[in-house]
Amino acid sequence: MPPRGLSLLLALACAVQAVPAIAADPPQGTLSIAAAANLVYALDALDAEFGKAQPGVKLTSATGASGSLVAQIRNGAPYDVFLSADLDFPRALIASGHADGGSLSTFAVGRLVLWTTRAGLDVSDVAAVVRNPAVAKLAIGNTSSAPYGRAAKEAMERLGVWSNAQPKLVVGENISQAAQFVETGNADAGFVAMSLVLSPRLKEKGHWTEVPRALYGSLDQGAVLTVRGAGNPAARAYLAFLRGPAAARVLAAYGYGVPAAP
């Protein structure tokens, strides 16, 4: 017969094994996302991956210029998660009491390109394209509400061609609309997000060159929970998903830089 102490330990071990592990229930319910327009194609792929991991969540999303989405959220738009093309707009929401400051993180880094669908137009030299008299219309996102538009302006200022560009500008409300101007031929070339020209819909159209990153400030893409979303477990699950390997693979495929996991 085993000693009394050993018998007691064996009994306790069996009791512990008999108790089932308590796992957190996966989030259920609804989730509404507001995302910057540069994510318009990547967002579909991200949401599909999230749906595989969290099939119990009914997800809806909308895209637009980051500044316009901020205005909507401040006016009561029922979004749970805001994915911005920069960190300034999420910080503004936090400062005004419309977002949860503790949830803000950088989930990707955007890249700016100069794109054309004109077969004979060489876009390898950004400054030369802006100065080219054959380029009569140059698309750009709104420099006040679209961070990619602001980055394009900054790049042209550093190249010394902003004054050359201004008479040619065709301004889109957001970077997706700027891309539409180029795609449809309503602009000869345009400054757009790399994520757009790498999308399945546009990657076979035209040609592009990346704008050197030294010419504009980093396009850190910020994710934040709105005040409404702070109490939604599905929203917190989405932010966690954005920091995971499945989201990283999608973002990298669309040309984004992906920050190292915390």
Tell me the fold of 31-109+218-253: D-Maltodextrin-Binding Protein; domain 2 (3.40.190)
Q: What is the pLDDT of residue 136?
A: 98
pLDDT digit of tens for each residue in the chain (262 aa)? 444 443 433 343 444 344 333 335 666 799 999 999 999 999 999 999 999 999 999 999 999 999 999 999 999 999 999 999 999 999 999 999 999 999 999 999 999 999 999 999 999 999 999 999 999 999 999 999 999 999 999 999 999 999 999 999 999 999 999 999 999 999 999 999 999 999 999 999 999 999 999 999 999 999 999 999 999 999 999 999 999 999 999 999 999 999 876 5
CA distance 67 to 90: 10
In the chain, CATH 3.40.190.10 covers: 31-109+218-253, 110-215
Q: What is the pLDDT of residue 195?
A: 97
DSSP 5-43: HHHHHHHHHHHHHHSPP-PPPPP-EEEEEEEEGGGTTHH
Q: What is the pLDDT of residue 27?
A: 65
Rg (CA), the chain: 23
Residues 6 or more apart whose CB falls under 8 angstroms from that of 170 comprise 137, 138, 139, 140, 178, 181, 186, 187, 190
* Burial tier of 120 (Cβ tally within 10 Å: 0-12, 13-18, 19+): exposed
- pTM of the complete model: 0.85
Q: Is it true that domain 110-215 has CATH number 3.40.190.10?
A: yes
Q: What is the pLDDT of residue 260?
A: 74
DSSP 111-147: -EEEEE--TT---SSHHHHHH-TT---EEEE-TTT-H
